[in-house]
Amino acid sequence: MRLDALRSPADLRDLGPEELAALATELRQRIIDTVDRTGGHLGSNLGAVELTLALHRVFDSPRDAILFDTGHQTYVHKLLTGRVAEFDGLRQAGQMSGYASRDESAHDWIENSHASTVLSYAHGLATARATTSDRRRVVAVIGDGSMTGGMAFEGLNNLGHSGLPVTVVLNDNGRSYAPTVGRLSESLIRIRSNPTYMRRQRHLEDLAERLPWVGELVERGISATKAALRDMFEPTAFFEALGVHYLGPFDGHDIAEVEDALTNAAEFDGPVVVHVLTQKGRGHAPAEQDPIKHMHDTGGVKPGSYTEAFTESLLKAAESHPEVVAITAAMPDSTGLLPFRDRFPDRCFDVGIAEQHAVTAAAGMAMGGLRPVIALYATFLSRAFDQTNLDVGLHGLPVVFCLDRAGITGDDGPSHHGVLDMVLLSRVPGMTVLAPSSYQELQQMFEDTMASTDGPVAIRWSKTPAPHVGWDEVGRGLAARRVRAGDGQVCLLGAGKMLAAALAAADELAADGIEATVWDPRCIRPLDDTMLDNAAEHRLVVTIEDGFREGGFGTGVLDALAARPPRAEAPMPRVSVLGVPVAHHAHGPADALLASFGLDGPGVAASVRFRLG
């Protein structure tokens, strides 16, 4: 059967081995061709082709709920569930999401793109079904590094205690975004590479093959011997001790073997882990050979980007400050830490997909005299807000949070937009929040941060290219910088990358005879009094930010101006807060999304004209 003729997963059940193999090849090629045009997560999906085929042949989706952790590994699932025609629009504005999407299909139960959560979803859904005697199966597919996250262990522990009939598929591809971290990962690798197990398995298979008169009995005997060897030589104790039955490991690229394992697992009354071994990037040589570029949609560190400025600053600081250490949660490549790790391997810590642990471990390091720098995507900081607030903030520790992909990020959609960080961090007592507007500003901010130990500091920057300016256009410390002096009608405060929108708006307004004052706030919290004093002298103050407009930078400016004593000679200016509307925004080009919110030059200028009447 051709992929284009596939209408539903039920069509797969009539296919023979040769047809399935041909379909697997076609699926891989379709994914490669599409991702080459649209970008996306290539390696994880190429590695899950046979596994996903087996899942849809054994289970009846969407009647049986197939839940995917790290929803970026669902491209095959999308193609098998009636979305072939739409797949060309992967990650394109207004078209197919790069993750599972409940709006797209009933086969997508959860929109899960922050990792390590699927076992908790499975526990909850299975509990709900148990209360109604619903016998439909719940299947949770976890892997791609997600088992390094603490929440996965919490979910697994509760599944084992509950005895609920959940099938957990552990997709062990040997890698997460970076090399997988943790004892469990090490034990899984030992399973794959155990020479005693592999040697004895090969010996028994060779012996059986030399006994042609046994026939079919030999095949059954080999399977039984494999199962016995697994029980004898593999560390199943980890799962069994939690009350979860363990089956495996199985070859995740052998559809028949995986089907048998899944069918057997579905016969158990309680939770079962089916451990399958897959190869990330399977069938595409560049993806198999390059451990970074083709494994995840990182795109690497772009020359001239804010991330590159951070990398240079961190290396410079580490050379003269031996107490500087770097921490990341499975993202050393895309957060710019690989050069640091190469230069200082003993001072770089990748804790896996475990942001909570990363932050509290950084607190402990700071207590011990180190200077920890945490490199995360802004969207993932929300997973560790409690630790940021209480473990770092309450103790006033000099931990540095370096938040990449802040603001509207573009193609990855609602789960990856970094629109909460300014709202959350501005609520942490003692936290300093910095937003660079250029490559050089970020470097200056990092240098100033390293020179002080007065509590936690966060520096947040966007995924988009960084403007390059002369060093005479860079501020110092926590002071804001006035970029243009106006005529007193309007004052524009452009936070971080939004300084560019403020300047573009000022140019438009100048054509209307309005000379706007423009400030680069630099420091989101605390706010610079000199900037506020100047802003208070204008009829209208407009704040511009690429985070949520409620509770962020603009709200801080509004509150600070409102708290000032009234003056007859200078009445309180009107304040207009421009920012991202509070909603879960779809994927699309970052600049186009910002423009749709009125957060570009023309949009800001239009807002000013409206406010001035």
- Separation of CA 294 from chain center: 16
CA distance 123 to 167: 11
Rg of the chain (C-alpha set) = 27
Task: Tell me if 500 sits within 8 A of 600, measured CB to CB.
Answer: no
Q: What is the dihedral of CA 219, 46, 74, 72, to 10 degrees?
A: 130
Cα dihedral 367/368/372/377 (nearest 10): -60
Query: Which DSSP string corresponds to 227-283?
Result: HHHHHHHS-THHHHHTT-EEEEEEETT-HHHHHHHHHHHTT-SS-EEEEEE--TTTT
Catalytic one of 383, 463, 481, 549: 383
Given the residues 28, 83, 280, 549, the one annotated as active site = 280
372, 365 Cβ separation under 8 angstroms: yes
What order of strands is seen across the sheet that includes strand 540-548? Answer: 481-484, 517-520, 490-494, 540-548, 574-580
- Catalytic, out of 234, 355, 441, 545: 355
Amino acid in position 528? D
User: Using an 8 Å Cβ cutoff, are 546 and 407 in contact?
Assistant: yes
Establish whether 355 is a catalytic residue: yes
Distance of CA 237 to the CA centre of its chain: 31
Using CA of residue 514, residue 519, residue 524, residue 529, what is the dihedral sign?
Answer: negative
Is residue 165 within 8 Å of 244, Cβ to Cβ? no
Active site residue 537: no
**Which residues participate in catalysis according to the annotation?**
280, 355, 383
